[in-house]
Structure 1
Amino acid sequence: MLATSRHPIREPYVGGQESHTAVLARGLREQGHHVRLYARPGTDPELADEIVPYPDLPPLSAVAAVDPALPEPEFLRDHAAFLAAVRDLLARPDVDVVHNQSLHFLPLALSEVLPAPLVTTLHTPPFPWMELGIALAGPRSAYVCVSGASAADWTSLPHPPRIVPNGVRDDGEGAGSGGPDLVWMGRLTAIKGADLAIRAARAAGRRLSLVGPVSDPEWYAHAVAPLLGPDVEHHGHLTHTDLARLVRSSAATLVTPRWDEPFGLVAAESTVWGTPVVALDRGGLREVVQEGTGVLVDDRGAGEGTVVDRLRDGVEAVRDLPRASVRERALAHLGADVMVSRYLLVYRELVAEDPA
């Protein structure tokens, strides 16, 4: 499994891509499969049977360091990581499937030299570098989208992708008792809409807890920080255990993206923990928030004041949803064991079809 080259795979996870990689790697091991994980140094060693760290950049010479055409360090680091991973895989004849969790074109472009078929999970909407990789990939490559909504955007694929929703691990702590307050979780950046959640919580007369890393400090400083107060608290970036405890003690989770979410992992996590969701009807969230686990709010063509009112009404609408039922419905569709089983079917199909 090729993880992202940007962040170690360890709690607290930077985002859904990292969380998904960890959940799948653990789940595969629990079902008796041997997992070799290529990842940034600092990755949790308990996630896989083998951790192969991506190399860092070698120091540049004085002449190379001042080259006016010098790429950004992250660009070079990504290339070093994935070229090293492919080189290592070429010496490993015991691999059955390579699972690409990265958003980089090199694993796809080099897929034909890999010792096993490649499956790539497309965690995001299409962007040029990934479409280049897809154009260069060989016929032994397969693709998975995390929702039907996301799959509809990937028009550059040579054949329809499989669809496997992201899964959430059952920690065995049940649905929780709830409480009067609301919670919002995610990266604090404009497209995630935490400021909209603050206004909706105030309109509903509820306290709000914000959880997540500040991904855009400038936006946070002018759009969120001035709105904090006794009724709105930012708890920072919590571990999954602490986050689950907070969500379980909340009445509902607000999910307020200003873009079309490919999936909506925070909504899946909330419902698996028994807390209903009030979410904007954007992207893959329609496939995550189902009847009996929350409500979807239409924000298309509506002004922000109208959207806030609809979110407020949504909070009232989920008040009486039975938390145990919310959790049961979510686990049946979005549990980690369900996701792992679906990926194993994809792997077995690839191995059966592989002429090598």
Structure 2
Amino acid sequence: MRIAMLATSRHPVREPYAGGQESHTAVLAKGLRELGHHVRLYARAGTDPGLADEIVPYPDLPPLSAVAAVDPALPEPEFLRDHAAFLAAVRDLLARPDVDVVHNQSLHFLPLALSEVLPAPLVTTLHTPPFPWMELGIALAGPRAAYVCVSAASAADWTTLPRPPQVVPNGVSDDDGGPGPGGEDLVWVGRLTAVKGADLAIRAARAAGRRLALVGPVSDPEWYAHAVAPELGRDVEHHGHLAHADIARLVRASAATLVTPRWDEPFGLVAAESTVWGTPVVAIDRGGLREVVREGTGVLVDDRGASEAAVVTRLRDGVQQAVSLPRPEVRRRALAHLGADVMVERYLQVYRDLQARPEVKAHPVALSGVLS
């Protein structure tokens, strides 16, 4: 199968990944290629060239004239850059009738709005909760568009879709590193911003009497300066934004991973990766995390109606339960549900199901490729 994949235009798809969206795109592209499928990846310049058979870089913004640059209605630069990227990608796709399916990972409305003129049907993975621009794209999309959510919890939020989305959990590549030795310390991984709750993890680790390693980029410097930086010291260390292999080594050497969102996570990739690496998870039960942290892989903590002090206590108690879970069994259960190979096969079935729809077969520019 020949698959065109539209990555986000905000960040290159390369390690260390800017977020779960980029990581998911990389894992899926690599997994499809390993099965012999051809991947043409539209992505920001600087993307890892080994991820796809072809990399098509999104264009940079052209320089604005002196008059245009001072226009009071000038949109934000990122807004203009996104439009330039996806209009260029759609224009390129219009000249490629050999594409079997277009997979939109971008969360931009233009591929959806223009989906009916594309030479192949469009699959869009909805990585986030609904927002207005995306709902506009969905309203303009035709019947040759299909939608995937990363959890049933996230799917329930997308109420404006023309048909229920399919649910395909994000997958984690097995690096053959095994369950790891574990250790006494705890680890927390993510963007350092208030909604991710690293400050809750710090309090929980101290309540449990364990050291904590923080990993991730500082996304909100002001919040970090007053909520995290003053807490760093002998028992809390920030390791920065690490490469994926370095994160895996640190997680495998930890007793448990704390996942402490203050919002409803659409999925919970950190929890998925931790359990595939054999390290049990203690997570606040928000959004899709219930579908990731299953029996035998970790502990979920209920925060409904609870004060943050009560949540911290529950996280502390959860650590004591989680560290007793056998690491090989944590890994085995996680791979059966969340392995990259499982995800890739599910997406291939999504592509085949879309191709089988009568409205796709009847389209005048139906694809010329052969499903394999």
Aligned to 2:92: 88
Runs of 4+ in structure 1 over 3 Å off: none
CA shift digits 1:128-157 (9 cap, x unpaired) = 000000000011000000000000000010
Q: 2:112 aligns with which of 105, 108, 114?
A: 108
Partner of residue 281, structure 1 = 285
After superposition, residues 39-118 of structure 1 pair within 5 angstroms as 39-118=43-122
In structure 2, the partner of 1:199 is: 203
- Structure 2 Cα separation of the partners of residues 136 and 47 of structure 1: 31
Deviations 1:199-218 (A, max 9, x none): 00000000000000001111
- Report what 2:127 is aligned to: 123
After superposition, give the CA deviation of every residue in 1:216-258 in whole Å (9 maximum; x if it has no partner).
Answer: 1111111111111110000000001000000000000000000
Query: Which amino acid is 1:95 matched to?
Result: V
Q: Distance in 2 between matches of 1:13 and 1:283?
A: 22
Q: 1:168 aligns with which of 151, 169, 172?
A: 172
Name 1:298's counterpart in structure 2. Answer: 302
Task: Output one character per residue of 1:27-71: Cα deviation in whole Å (capped at 9) or x when no partner.
Answer: 000000000000000000000000000000000011101111100
Instruction: State the TM-score, normalized to the length of structure 1.
Output: 1.00
2:187 maps to amino acid? V
Residue in structure 2 matching 1:322, options 326, 335, 345: 326
Q: Distance in 2 between matches of 1:86 and 1:352?
A: 23
What secondary structure sits across from 2:156 in the alignment?
Answer: helix
SS in 1 for 2:135: helix
CA offset digits 1:268-310 (Å, max 9, x no partner) = 0000000000000000000000000000000111011110000
User: Aligned match of 2:148 in 144, 149, 154?
Assistant: 144
Q: How far off its partner does 1:259 sit?
A: 0.2
Partner of 2:369: none
What do the CA deviations read for 1:149-206 (whole angstroms, capped 9, x no partner)? 0000000100000000000000001000100000000000110000000000000000
SS in 2 for 1:246: helix
Code of the aligned partner of 1:265 = L
Counterpart of 2:244 (choices 240, 246, 262) is 240
Unpaired runs of 5+ in structure 1? Answer: none
Of 348, 352, 355, which residue of structure 1 is paired with 2:356? 352
* Candidates 31, 34, 55, aligned match of 2:35: 31
Q: CA RMSD in A?
A: 0.5
Q: Aligned match of 2:25 in 18, 21, 24?
A: 21
Q: What secondary structure, in the 3-state scheme, does the structure 1 residue paired with 2:337 have?
A: helix
State whether structure 2 residue 348 is matched by structure 1 residue 341: no
Write the letter of the residue equivalent to 1:218: E
**Distance (whole Å) between structure 2 residues aligned to residue 116 and residue 218 of structure 1:** 45
Residue 349 of structure 1: how far off its partner (Å): 1.1
Structure 2 residue runs of 5 or longer lacking an equivalent are 367-372
Q: Which residue of 1 aligns with 2:311?
A: 307
CA distance in 2, matches of 1:115, 1:269: 36
Q: State the alpha-carbon separation in 1 of the partners of residues 22 and 138 from structure 2.
A: 22
- Partner-residue secondary structure (3-state), 2:38: coil
Distance (whole Å) between structure 1 residues aligned to residue 350 and residue 21 of structure 2: 19
Q: Sequence identity, in percent?
A: 87
| Alpha-carbon separation, structure 2, partners of 1:185 and 1:320 | 21
Provide the aligned length of Structure 1 versus Structure 2: 356
How far did 1:352 drift?
2.0
Which of 258, 277, 295 is equivalent to 2:262? Answer: 258
Is 1:2 the counterpart of 2:1 in the alignment?
no
* Distance in 2 separating the partners of 1:208 and 1:283: 24
Letter in 2 for 1:264: G
**TM-score, normalisation: structure 2:** 0.95
